[in-house]
């Protein structure tokens, strides 16, 4: 049975590898270069400094393990005292279709509630239709859509449609 626990420094390489694999899997052929740039930027700004990055945002980072192998991950940021933002929720392809995403989402909501949050916000892209379905089926409501123009550690840019959801906790 998979378990969810806090990220520790020894998880860095596995989390880094999962992040790279998933983003390369998502990359459409015409955006391969943009995704490689996004991956590089996100590694430097966030993934390779998870304790500092999430600490600066009053958040936390979690991994899901199965038989000591990392099969999923997610982070929580605190944009304000009442809100948690779900970030970097990824499931290894070998662990999909077994409820890992649902378990991590429910766990993240519980952590946010325990930390006093009343609202969870998140975003995903048109490249992740299964994530969109998961969020909608879990009670999240779409609050806006936008076309990602500029790259950041939160979006590739490349004119990919992003969907922003929220849920009262």
- pLDDT at residue number 51: 97
- pLDDT at residue number 148: 66
Beta strand 60-66 pairing with 3-6? antiparallel
Decide if pLDDT at 151 tops 60: no
**Mean pLDDT taken over the chain:** 92
Gap between the Cα atoms of 83 and 126, Å rounded: 24
- HSE-CB at 160 with a 13 A cutoff on CA atoms is 27
| Three-class secondary structure assignment of 56-102 | HCCCEEEEEEECCEEEEEEEEEEEECCEEEEEEEEECHHHCCCCHHH
Give me the mean pLDDT over the 37-43 stretch.
Answer: 93
Give me the mean pLDDT over the 84-105 stretch.
Answer: 92
Decide if pLDDT at 156 tops 80: no
Query: Among the CATH numbers 3.50.30.50, 3.40.630.30, 3.30.450.40, 3.90.1150.10, which is that of 3-168?
Result: 3.40.630.30
Give me the mean pLDDT over the 34-44 stretch.
Answer: 92
Domain spans of the chain? Answer: 3-168
Decide if pLDDT at 153 tops 50: no
3-state secondary structure of 28: coil
Decide if pLDDT at 158 tops 90: no
User: Pick from 80, 65, 96, 70: which is nearest to 2 by CA?
Assistant: 65
């Amino acid at each position: 049975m998979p378990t969810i626990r806090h990220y520790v420094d020894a998880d860095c390489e596995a989390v880094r590898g999962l992040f790279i694999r998933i983003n390369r899997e998502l990359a459409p052929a015409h955006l391969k270069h943009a995704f490689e740039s996004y991956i590089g930027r996100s590694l430097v700004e966030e993934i390779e400094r998870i304790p500092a990055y999430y600490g600066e945002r009053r958040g936390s980072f979690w991994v899901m393990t199965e038989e000591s192998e990392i099969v999923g991950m997610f982070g929580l940021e605190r944009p304000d005292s009442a809100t948690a933002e779900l970030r970097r929720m990824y499931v290894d392809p070998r662990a999909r279709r077994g409820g890992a995403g649902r378990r991590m989402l429910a766990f993240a909501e519980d952590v946010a509630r325990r930390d006093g949050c009343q609202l969870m916000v998140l975003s995903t892209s048109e490249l992740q239709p299964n994530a969109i379905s998961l969020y909608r089926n879990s009670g999240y409501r779409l609050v806006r859509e936008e076309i990602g123009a500029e790259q950041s550690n939160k979006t590739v840019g490349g004119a990919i449609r992003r969907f922003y959801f929220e849920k009262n906790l």
